[in-house]
Amino acid sequence: MAKTLNVGLIGYGFMGRTHSNAYRKVNNFFDLEYRPVLKTVCGLVEEEAKAFAEKWGYESYGTNWRQVIEDPNIDLVDICVPNNLHAEIAIAAAEAGKAILCEKPLALNVAQGKQMVEAVEKAGVANLVSFNYRRVPAVTLAKILIEEGRLGKIFHYRANFLQDWTISADVPQGGMATWRLDVKAAGSGVTGDLLAHCIDTAMWQNGPITQVNATTETFVKQRKHAETGKVEPVGIDDACIFMCRFENGSLGNFESTRYARGHKALYTFEVNGEHASIAWDLHDLHRLSWFDHRDEGKLRGWRSIHVTDHGGEHPYMDKWWVPGLQIGYEHTFVHQIADFLEGLAEGETVHPTFADALETQKVCEAVLLSAREGRWVDVQSVG
Ligand code: SOE
């Protein structure tokens, strides 16, 4: 009989749906000691919280997140609200002894992130940040190949995250649907929202980033605020490009924008090593491209690995269908919950923890500082 783990979800937007879906599916595919129980969902509008609870099978709903934290029946607090609320909720949850899953980025800034890390470490509670792309099987495989030393010395790490949904000046800022454009709610634009994913994956695969040099642009300078109706200055970065140095001596090149017409969520990375290179593309997420210079000359070329095999060769895939049949975006969240529940059962730390996400937050802050001041910034000097 599985042990129950009572979940209190705070925030019922897009991420609330991805997490709820994962809780519902995880035990169907993974053999785990814990079974999540969808106890309560909490959000801004009572009617919407009620409808969400009915649709996803939560036992209750509410509008006051403090009640979720104070409820002794809740074991795991899942934070899926805008970034400006992460710190307050996570610190209260830690003090109440709850395990915490928090959406990315960790916080608005490094100062807040540090307080969150201190709180979870002081309370000794399990904590995980939802950088879900780490758990795409092809991305995990890339990490394994790098770690095994198959690429040799790494020279370059290149990543992009391109979207095009804010090109129109009529898109508002603020409010439930467009809080990502409001600097007060989001902290930053593409740097915290999109590049944070790329940075998390890059540092996981290729080690710490030590120095950055960035430039940002805000193409639409003012937008109507969805809540006040007033036209207000835009405080977020619409686009960000940065170069960096990794501790292992390799160079990095990162770009993100919401103004790349034609691209909805094109996250790509490429790693070039002395012997081999790998490349990955979110739009073809089950494939990993591999080039090995050591291959016989006649046959040398990029190969496309369909990351769907069983027998432990391809991460996570044993848990799903049969070899050759692929999975997608939603499954990254199932993997995240499966790993977290397994860690809870074994008493083991699952990554990225708040402390790991703080390192990503430092890179984001260094990037924004570099863009403002037009100079190289040492990542560990920020905050
Ligand atoms: C923004 O559009 C967004 O939803 C991000 O907030 C997510 O983290 C990213 O995975 C997809 O794009």
187: CATH? 3.30.360.10
Is 383 part of any domain? Answer: no
Domain hosting residue 258, numbered range: 134-350+360-373
Is 308 part of any domain? Answer: yes
User: In what helix (H) or strand (E) does residue 117 lie, and over which residues does it extend?
Assistant: helix 110-123
pTM of this structure? 0.98
Dist. CA 264 → ligand 1 center (Å): 10
In this structure, the answer to whether residues 123 and 233 fall within a common structural domain is no
Domain-terminating residue out of 132, 166, 199: 132
Dist. CA 287 → ligand 1 center (Å): 21
In this structure, the answer to whether residues 142 and 222 fall within a common structural domain is yes
In this structure, the answer to whether residues 169 and 98 fall within a common structural domain is no
In this structure, the answer to whether residues 84 and 166 fall within a common structural domain is no
Q: Is the peptide bond before 315 cis (omega within 30 degrees of 0)?
A: no
Domain-terminating residue out of 132, 158, 184: 132
Is 44 part of any domain? Answer: yes
Is 138 part of any domain? Answer: yes
Nearest CA to ligand 1 atom 11: 265
Instruction: Please report the atom of ligand 1 found closest to the CA of residue 197.
Output: 8
Residues at CB less than 6 angstroms from ligand 1: 163, 193, 265
- CA 360 to mean position of chain CA atoms: 10
In this structure, the answer to whether residues 283 and 365 fall within a common structural domain is yes
In this structure, the answer to whether residues 111 and 250 fall within a common structural domain is no
In this structure, the answer to whether residues 244 and 275 fall within a common structural domain is yes
In this structure, the answer to whether residues 231 and 283 fall within a common structural domain is yes
Is 382 part of any domain? Answer: no
In this structure, the answer to whether residues 213 and 162 fall within a common structural domain is yes
Dist. CA 164 → ligand 1 center (Å): 12
Is 238 part of any domain? Answer: yes
In this structure, the answer to whether residues 192 and 340 fall within a common structural domain is yes
In this structure, the answer to whether residues 223 and 123 fall within a common structural domain is no
Domain-terminating residue out of 132, 152, 178: 132
CATH no. for residue 51? 3.40.50.720
Q: How many domains does the chain have?
A: 2
In this structure, the answer to whether residues 125 and 144 fall within a common structural domain is no
Is 355 part of any domain? Answer: no
Residues of the chain where predicted confidence (pLDDT) is lower than 70: 1
Candidate of 167, 180, 194 to mutate for ligand 1, largest count of ligand atoms within 8 Å of Cβ: 194
Q: Are 340 and 128 in contact (CB under 8 A)?
A: yes
Nearest CA to ligand 1 atom 9: 194
Nearest to 285 by CA among 335, 244, 357: 335
3-state secondary structure (DSSP) of residue 154: strand
Q: How confident is the model at residue 160, as a pLDDT? A: 98
Is 380 part of any domain? Answer: no
* 289 residue type, one letter: S
Q: How confident is the model at residue 2, as a pLDDT? A: 82
Q: Which residues contact 44 (CB under 8 A, 6 or more apart)?
A: 63, 176
Both tokens assigned to 78:
């899942």
